Structure 1
Amino acid sequence: MSDHTALTPARLEARIDLDALRSNVRRLREIAAPAQVMAVVKADAYGHGMLPCARAALEAGAAWIGTAVPQEALALRAAGIEGPILTWLHSPGDDFAALVRADVDVSVSGQWALHAILEAVERTGRPARIQLKADTGLGRNGVQPHDWPLVVDEAVKAERDGLVKVTGVWSHFACADEPGHPSIQLQLTAFHEALAYAEAAGVRPEVRHMANSPATLSLPESHFDLVRTGVAMYGLSPAPELGLPADHGLRPVMSLVARLASVKRVPAGHGVSYGHTYRTSEETRLALVPAGYADGVPRAASGVGPVSIGGRRYTIAGRVAMDQFVVDLGPGGGADPDPRPGDEAVLFGPGDGGTPTAQDWADATDTIGYEIVTRIGPRVPRVYHPVDSSAPNA
């Protein structure tokens, strides 16, 4: 997990604005009220650094922490994160006993998972905290309606026997980022039906939850007791159709900044990077940015990725390589910027002063903002502002 603060300027660094993250969590709490907020920190907090972001979210009033895989939840517990944590993506053979010992809430999406948890309870001698997930139409994890009574009834029996505590009932939207999509209301109806059966069977959950980031921002009827905010917490819009981050009072948390490795003048007709898919049209200056697809810069950004250097916006020239790419700065002169090696190149950030955003990169590469930030690799240091006291050498 990336969880450290760089001591010296790096060739490339991901600057994480923890104050922006705290502000985003407070804003999402306002939007969701009276529902609580679960801060989702899966995938190393969408590339932002799991532990610092979890701590900052809790400081800002998040009531729950959400993770995908068990290792994430256990790492948070080992680092001293207290309070409720939910983990939801499991496979047979996972260490359910460790989750039970750590008082992590474990999602149940099928009868096999419930049986594995009950075996862990027998081994540990401790009751488990579980949440029942209904597949209301997404078609991924979750219990299908025809199996829901079987799983609910078995969970209720286990609760009466003192083996588990059913702390939640939940589901997940397929198309909440597409306002007006017909599946949204169908899924809400299916969730209400699943809740009605569970409650009639004797389930008294602490939390009922269905809303992800887009539903938190656009579907108040889906908030129930708790909303699960992932990408919105990091200041990105779940979808352009829902508006820009600023439209929701959110600010992007990550800025990806490199330091130029070289700036040199080349003649007209000079090939640039692998395959010479770009050739200079005139005598010009080429800047080398030491960031590539090994760092998480999409190779699909070749020829289209936006970069800001010296306050001016440029486009990647030629192919993105494993460790570097090139920007054509133009011939220079007049009011043109005159960058030097060591000067900053902003790949994306909050968009201040016209600099690119993660959404700009997503648009350029035909993907989503989630992928742009999450793919930033472990060899890119995360630099926290203000300094995260949990990080080594802080």
Structure 2
Amino acid sequence: MIEEPFYRDTWAEINLDAIQNNVRNMKKLSGEKVKIIAVVKANAYGHGYAEVAEAALAAGAESLAVAFLDEGLYLRSAGIKAPILVLGAARAGDAALAAEHQIALTVFSEEWLKEAASHLHDKKLSIHIKLDTGMGRLGFTEKDALDRFAAYAASAEKVEIKGIYTHFATADELDTGYFEKQAARFEELLEGLPAENWLVHCANSAAGLRFPAKHFNAVRLGISMYGLSPSAEMKSELPFPLEEALSLHTRIVQVKKLKKGESVSYGATFTAEEDMWAGTLPVGYADGWIRKLKGSEVLLNGERVPIIGRICMDQCLIRLPGEVKTGEKVTLIGRQGEAFIPVDEIAERLETINYEVTCMMAARVPRMYLKNGSIMKVKNYLLS
């Protein structure tokens, strides 16, 4: 059922079946004893917080992970009841708010926890202990400090340790040397800790797909839940096919015939070398379709056609194979018939990673959620 309308001819489609199949396949690979933590930070990598969270949980994920407390609070306001873990740093003064909404926080400092406990009053805070085994961002690095912290946290009346984890820097690279070093350090730091009843997780998507022996009792499924490989080089290592969930579409809003010598868009960087047809698309860099994509291709009637001229904030132009009607659907990412433009193709053109392509899709682009081939919901952030 469509809940919210949208009033522009550009939209993203999110295939919830694909997301659920990716979760189920990871669950099958990991085994029933390993819990799946669905990572839905950054608006579910651009796909939509609540909608992806609900789909992942229905497919067998047991809990969710976000980057910041605000994201966890948003999920709670959307009616999500499942356990939520904040992976990033939170302010000690916000610990009571997290506890009130039953959102677990990542902790990596005894001083932080002591300050946080002073704010809890009658609330009890759930925490996951973060270990830095070589990523260099957040976490305990020394065994002595970790053991002291764990003993203190275990004795604190208002604190409950729910998990312990680390994050790999190179699990998506074919050279496993650094990965193995991190994995060994993680096990060294775990030694002697009373972790029997904790969630122990170090496997992100890459490690989860490649190294089942490192699953412990939980896997954080991020980029691959959305059907994208953690890196291009590990595609050959995938244990099951990933189903890409996101596609991006627009419609031609004007068709015009350019005469030889006429130019288009800012800077007049494209000049027609012969009489030709051009179409205007209502999508631009403010939507995440950035200027560096000048010259890339889109799909029209199952055929590739090029973008011409500079991409504007809200519009861009394409070269048409001939005169076509306004309103024709154009696919920027995704499939039309046998033709396919994957997210990785856009990432390669931008000299970046697929994560960035989906994450930078602007909130003003409506998201259309599909289930069993039908429109289940439309999310328009501008009219919410």
TM-score w.r.t. length of structure 1 = 0.89
Q: Distance in 2 between matches of 1:247 and 1:355?
A: 22
Alignment deviations for residues 3-59 of structure 1 (CA, whole Å, 9 cap, x no partner): x85536731001111121111111111122242211111011111110011001100
Instruction: State the partner residue of 1:167.
Output: 162
Kindly report structure 1 stretches of 4+ aligned residues shifted beyond 4 Å. Answer: 244-247, 387-394
For each residue in 1:47-74, what CA deviation from the matched residue of structure 2 results, as whole angstroms up to 9, or x when unmatched? 1110011001100000111111001111
**Is 1:189 the counterpart of 2:184 in the alignment?**
yes
For 1:368, the equivalent position in structure 2 comes to 353
Equivalent position to 2:145, from 131, 146, 150: 150
Matched, 1:52 2:51: yes
- Counterpart of 1:327? 318
TM-score in terms of structure 2 length: 0.91
Instruction: Give the 3 Å change call, closer, same or farther, for CA 316–272 of structure 1 in structure 2.
Output: same
Unaligned runs of 5+ in 2: none
Bigger drift between 213-222 and 241-250 goes to 241-250
How far 1:301 sits from its partner (Å)? Answer: 0.8
Give me the whole-angstrom Cα distance separating, in 2, the residues matched to 1:38 and 1:352. Answer: 34
RMSD: 2.4
| 1:151-202 CA distance string (max 9 Å, x none) | 44233223224221111110001011112242100100110011114x1xx4
1:10 aligns with 2:8: yes
Letter in 2 for 1:83: A
CA contact (8 A) 2:34 2:216 kept: yes
- 8 A contact 1:136–1:171 mirrored in 2: yes
CA distance in 2, matches of 1:375, 1:97: 32
- What is residue 83 of structure 1 aligned with on the other side? 82
Residues 88 and 108, structure 1, Cα contact 8 Å, conserved in 2: no
Give the counterpart letter for 1:60 in structure 2: A
Deviations 1:321-361 (A, max 9, x none): 1111111124x3xxxxx532111110002576222111111
Counterpart of 2:127, as a letter, is I
| Structure 1 counterpart of 2:62 | 63
Q: Distance in 1 between matches of 2:377 and 2:281?
A: 31
Count of matched residue positions in the alignment of Structure 1 and Structure 2: 377
Contact 2:72/2:84 (8 A) holds in 1:
yes
Does the 8 Å contact 2:299/2:336 carry over to 1? no
| 3-state SS of paired residue (1:239) | coil
- Once the two structures are superposed, what CA deviation does each residue of 1:225-249 show, in whole Å capped at 9, x if it has no partner? 1111111111111111121799732
Q: How does 1:91-106 map to 2 (within 5 A)?
A: 91-92=90-91, 95-106=94-105
Verify the 8 A CA contact 1:166 1:205 in the aligned structure 2.
no
Using the alignment, how far apart are the partners of 1:93 and 1:7 within structure 2? 40
Paired residue for 1:313? Answer: 304
Amino acid at match of 2:118: E
Cα distance in 2 for partners of 1:188, 1:50 equals: 30
* Alpha-carbon distance in 2 for matches of 1:352, 1:57: 28
**Alpha-carbon displacement from aligned partner over 1:88-124 (angstroms, at most 9, x marks no partner):** 2124366221101112111112334323432232x3x
Percent sequence identity over matched residues? 33
State the secondary structure of the residue aligned to 1:120. Answer: coil
Report the counterpart of residue 335 of structure 1 in structure 2: none
Quote the Cα distance in structure 2 between the aligned partners of 1:246 and 1:273. Answer: 42
CA distance in 2, matches of 1:314, 1:238: 29
Q: 1:273 to 1:138 in 2, by over 3 A?
A: same
